[in-house]
Amino acid sequence: MLYIVGFGPGDVGGMTLAAREALNRSEVIVGYTAYVGLMRGLFPEKEYLATPMRGERERVLAALGLAAEGKTVSLISGGDCAVYGLAGLALELAPKGAEIELVPGVTAALSGGALLGAPLGHDFAAVSLSDLLTPWEKIEKRLDCAAAGDFVIVLYNPSSKKRADYLARACEVILRHRSPDTVCGIARNIGRDGEEARTLTLSELKAASVDMFTTVFVGSGETKMINGKMVTPRGYKNV
């Protein structure tokens, strides 16, 4: 039996009860090294198998192999199991008839949003800035379309050592359609030590330095600051 578990931001409160139950039931928990570290603190009695970043294929095959041996296994992703997680790859690589249960979780757009206020109060789009698996042209096209559609935009993987200028490039694309004063927000280390959230304008965001533990929010034309919080109204107030 293989559970593919999205464990949320990383603290026990952000995990669903179904995720906790799946992890409790599992004999082996398989994941990326940093995530295994987080779960080891919460479920110290379990057997763990950690694989490094970019070892996604081996990680998924290892989990499927253990499950095929009859073990109860959890393959873990931070946030949700599917949103930039491992569920898709596991479903692709699984043999027909494999017993798999997907356990969704609170993705960073939601947990980071709650730290900032209610940026996702209306239609939104999620875009990953990682070009490891997606050509930059496709990323740029999506940013352009999301900005043209006046979506609130959530940026996952906004930076890495090799991609230090990607956030600035993304902001330039969005600025084709949005005012430099657009309300934006940054959430970092959500649900973990060093958790922080702050708001800034789109022009400030363009100059900001962020790391790979950060999720970035760009408001729509309707997003505003209310008592220090980033809020995209749905319109109820005027009904």
- Looking at the Cβ atoms of 151 and 166, the one nearer to its own copies is 151
Is residue 208 a contact point for its own copies (CB under 8 A)?
A: no
- Exposure letters 213-234 (e unless 16+ CB within 10 A, then b): bbbbbbbbeebeeeeebbbbee
Q: Does 111 bind its own copies (CB under 8 A)?
A: yes
Residue spans of alpha helices (H) in 69-197: 87-93, 108-116, 136-148, 166-175
* Minimum gap (Å) between residue 192 Cβ and its own copies: 14
Question: 21-50: which residues touch its own copies (CB under 8 A)?
Answer: 21
195 near its own copies, judged by CB under 8 A:
no
Pairwise CA distance, residues 140 & 127, whole Å:
10
Q: How far is the CB of 42 from its own copies (least distance, A)?
A: 11
Return the residue of 3, 124, 166, 217 that touches its own copies, per CB under 8 A.
Answer: 124
Show contacts with its own copies in window 133-162 (CB under 8 A): 133-134, 138, 141-142, 144-146, 148-151
Residues 63-82 that bind its own copies (CB under 8 A): 80-82
Q: Could you give phi then psi for residue 3, rounded to 5 degrees? A: -95, 130
| Residue 87 sits in the site that holds its own copies (CB under 8 A) | yes
Tokens representing residue 112 in the block: 């980071």
d(CA 73, CA 2): 5
Tokens of residue 81, six digits: 């199991």
Can you tell me the distance from the alpha carbon of 215 to that of 228, in angstroms, rounded to the nearest whole number?
Answer: 18
Question: Of 3, 10, 14, 173, which one interacts with its own copies (CB under 8 A)?
Answer: 14
Among 54, 99, 176, 180, binds its own copies (CB under 8 A): 54
Least distance (Å) from its own copies to the CB of residue 132? 8
237 binds its own copies (CB under 8 A): yes
| CA–CA separation, 155 and 138 (whole Å) | 14
Find the part of the chain contacting its own copies (CB under 8 A) among 26-34, 68-76, 180-188, 230-238.
230-238
Amino acid letter, 237: K
Report the nearest approach of its own copies to the CB of residue 50 (Å).
17
Q: What is the CA radius of gyration of the chain?
A: 19
